[in-house]
Amino acid sequence: MDLNPPLPYLVIEGPIGAGKTTLARRLAADLGARLLLEKPEDNPFLPRFYRDPVNGALPAQLGFLLQRAGQVESFQQPDLFDQRWVADFLFDKDRLFAELTLTPADLALYESVYRRLAWDVPAPDAVIYLTGPVDTLLERIARRGRDYEAGIERRYLEDLSAVYARYFGSYSAAPVIEVDVSQMDLVAEPAHYAELLAALRQPRGYLRLPRADLL
């Protein structure tokens, strides 16, 4: 399968439970692209954060920041321009979580590290922003049964969803395709997936799926 334009760097984003990794794997396979996946299971501080958000937030955020900085070093390699990439995270996402979870003093420390690591991170060619009601996200989180996610609270997901909405409401670095995962099943419904692919063939501005005129 091909896209025109080719979109060499495609990112899938959205709150916890939206289905980012599943979609990234499918798109990478269909497009013949390389995968760049965040690895929450490799962050030793994440379970501590979910148990004790106040004391566990800073090490968890710095752990993710350093992990993602190491991953995007892939884009400094010459073959970036010879291959396609599909990522299930936007580098800036970690800052969104930091703003939500850190105290002002901890955020200042985090920001100083972030600025040193983020200055040459490339912008994606398009972003697929997965969103949906908190009930849908909670159901998906429970279904996949990760022990360290068992303590995620509704309020946290509500706040996180609001942060994402504000961020993408003013995002201008790349075209954004917003997909309501409570209305579109990109895995089980071929027609829904085909609609997403059609949008990716003409990425421009900000597009919401399903389109209002199709409802």
Whether 183 is in a domain gets the answer no
> Is residue 130 helix, strand or coil?
strand
| In contact, 210 and 184? CB cutoff 8 Å | yes
How many other C-beta atoms can be found within 10 angstroms of the C-beta atom of residue 6? 12
Question: Is 88 part of the annotated catalytic residue set?
Answer: yes
pLDDT at 143 over 70: yes
**Mean pLDDT across the chain:** 87
Q: What is the pLDDT of residue 193?
A: 95
Instruction: State mean pLDDT over 69-95.
Output: 77
pLDDT in tens, 11-35: 999 999 999 999 999 999 999 898 9
* Number of domains, the chain: 1
User: Domain holding 113: CATH number?
Assistant: 3.40.50.300
Report pLDDT for 169: 92
Catalytic-labelled residue, pool 88, 106, 125, 147: 88
96: in domain: yes
Q: How far is CA 21 from CA 30, 120, 124, in A?
A: 14, 24, 17
Question: Residue 84 sits in which domain range?
Answer: 9-171
Residue 209 lies in a domain: no
Residue 208, in any domain of the structure: no
**Average pLDDT of span 105-129:** 90
Q: Is the predicted pLDDT of residue 79 greater than 70, yes or no? A: no
In a domain, 75, yes or no: yes
What pLDDT is recorded for position 136? 93
Assigned domain for 93 exists: yes
Q: Is the pLDDT score of 203 beyond 80?
A: yes
Tens digit of pLDDT for each residue in 116-125? 888 778 889 9
Q: Is residue 207 part of a domain?
A: no
pTM for this model (two decimals): 0.89
Asked if residue 189 is part of any domain, the answer here is no
